[in-house]
Amino acid sequence: MIGKPAILRGPMMPQRQKTLNFSKEYKNAILSGRKTCTIRLKTKLKAGDKALIIAGGERLGIAKITSVRRKKLSELDMEDVKHEGFRSLKELRRALRKHYGELDSATPVSVIRFHLISRENPKNRN
């Protein structure tokens, strides 16, 4: 039949861009490589995914997700602190409270590690 649009399904279907949104305050830490991790309450991301990184509404680039681990808030350690770009567990917990409110130590979180594989061209930024 001529004139009918093709319906794409399965692997031919264009996929929606996955994103990781951050507060503007994390922009420089992400761009410098000091922040290579984010802790979220929920995520659909998995290792190997590529995600658009946005900080304060600004597109920074594309990151490859290197790992996603579930753990309790109480199980966060200095390795997580380091990759999050903080200096102490206390500082990390303060930031998590700022974003999510009070959290119980048994609250499950996703520890998402990533690295930038491409940067947005500053001329194309909004």
Q: Which sign, positive or negative, has the C-alpha torsion 17, 125, 66, 79?
A: negative
**Cα→Cα distances 47→8, 103, 115, Å:** 26, 26, 11
- The pLDDT value given to residue 125: 46
User: Model-level pTM?
Assistant: 0.83
- The pLDDT value given to residue 16: 81
Identify the residue with better confidence: 2 or 18.
18
What are the tens digits of pLDDT across the range 34-48?
Answer: 999 999 999 999 999
- Domains of the chain, earliest start first: 16-118 (3.10.400.10)
Q: What angle do CA 49, 61, 123 make, to 5 degrees?
A: 155
- The pLDDT value given to residue 11: 55
